[in-house]
Amino acid sequence: MSYLFTSESVSEGHPDKVSDQISDALLDEFLAFDDNSKVAIETLVTTGQVVVAGEVKSKTYVDVQEVTRRVINNIGYTKGAYRFEGDSCGVMVGIHEQSPDINRGVDKADKDDQGAGDQGMMFGYACKDTDNYMPLPLELSHEILKELAVIRREGKTMTYLRPDSKSQVTIEYSDDNLPQKVHTIVVSTQHDEFDADEPMLAKIREDVINILIPRVKAKLPERVQKLFGDDIIYHVNPTGKFVIGGPHGDTGLTGRKIIVDTYGGRGAHGGGAFSGKDPSKVDRSAAYAARYIAKNLVAAGVADEILVQLAYAIGVARPVGVFVNTYGRKNVNFTDGEIAQKIQELFDLRPAAIEEKLKLRNPIYLETAAYGHMGRQPKTVVKKFESPYDHSPSIKEVELFTWEKLDSVEKVKKAFGI
């Protein structure tokens, strides 16, 4: 008997994602001028207002208001009609210094013994649904919204689009966990009020089905394109018109879309959010490490699907536990417990080692804050940051999404005799 599985995504203009992007943009600014900054920043956005709060220990100063307004404008909130606009919204700042009680457990005389910034468990997941080892429902949900944002910025078709949108994709799977077809697609997009309700909603539905989805489909591998049949069920703006949206329609908070950020409900999640946190917080860095391990193990052929859990105690360098679940889909003569033991032999899971391996003490985080932290394409970019003190910029060549690299596949194959 086949089964259905569903994942959702939200756009860069969704209120929670606006908050995530502000938090991560501020983190990048601190790291650009002091790569040892300790940062934990939360953001709240609502009608005409932004509240930025948190704890920071850094040698540099960041113009919080300027960075916040820049992020909001870049997303597309540039019109007074949105009731939330980058140049005119209020920005309240409540940032203070990190607790020395926390810092005492993290910073050590020997950097390699750096303790975890908090307790908790983090999960990494990978499967063979897609070429980048991500669950297909989430991958398609992200792609729909990324393309919708491209169309909005082009301004040639669907010219009524506003920044806030959501998507959801349901995939039918076979009993052996192989995607069989795209079953249902849900798209809700904020829009201008350009006609009476009935013809307006009919036009949006028509454009989603005949403009957006074909553009998304054209960018997909052929094996995924074949899953799009003529019997897909579409729900487009199913509640009716969606003119009031963004932070005016719904308050946004940093860290409220952790499932969108990771695996769309596949695998598991330890509950810790990512955005606004420097990599000493294992909520973020260990989750990236767990994804890196899971992806390299699946790519090496250890299993067709794998979940990796890492668990830490605050102030302690080495994980207190490593757990593996291959869901009965492993391809090697090792138990899941033996695979977990191999992982500890192959990968240094101390926080400082993770930071160094994945190059996490760099300003690489704004790019993670919309359309998922996992399954993205690793690449090298040059980023420029202006100093709030003078006009001397910090120009950084950085690697994005290093945890998506497959540079441990051969090492894994050798260890497992593949």
Residue numbers in the known binding site for L-methionine are: 55, 98, 250, 281
**C-alpha Rg value of the chain to the nearest Å:** 22
In contact, 121 and 320? CB cutoff 8 Å: no
CA–CA–CA angle 248, 251, 252 (5° rounding): 115
Q: Where are the beta strands (DSSP E) in 223-378?
A: 233-236, 252-253, 305-312, 321-325
CB-based contacts of 9, cutoff 8 Å, min separation 6: 138, 141, 142, 144, 145, 166, 167, 168, 260, 264, 371, 372
Binding-site residues for Mg(2+), please? Answer: 16
In contact, 182 and 140? CB cutoff 8 Å: yes
Single-letter code of the amino acid located at 124: G
> What whole-number distance in Å separates Cα of residue 238 and Cα of residue 339?
45
**DSSP calls for 106-146:** H--SSGGGPPBSS-EEEEEEEESSSTTS--HHHHHHHHHHH
Helices and strands (DSSP H and E) totals, the chain: 13, 13
Structure tokens at 320: 């207190």
In contact, 324 and 334? CB cutoff 8 Å: no
Structure tokens at 234: 């579409």
Return phi, psi of residue 365, to 5°.
Answer: -100, -25
Binding-site residues for ATP, please? Answer: 14, 164-166, 241-242, 250, 256-257, 273, 277
Binding-site residues for K(+), please? Answer: 42
> Pick from 346, 294, 248: which is nearest to 135 by CA?
294
Structure tokens at 367: 């790019």
> What whole-number distance in Å separates Cα of residue 68 and Cα of residue 50?
8
Binding-site residues, please? Answer: 14, 16, 42, 55, 98, 164-166, 241-242, 250, 256-257, 273, 277, 281
Structure tokens at 415: 């260890």
Structure tokens at 30: 């601190």
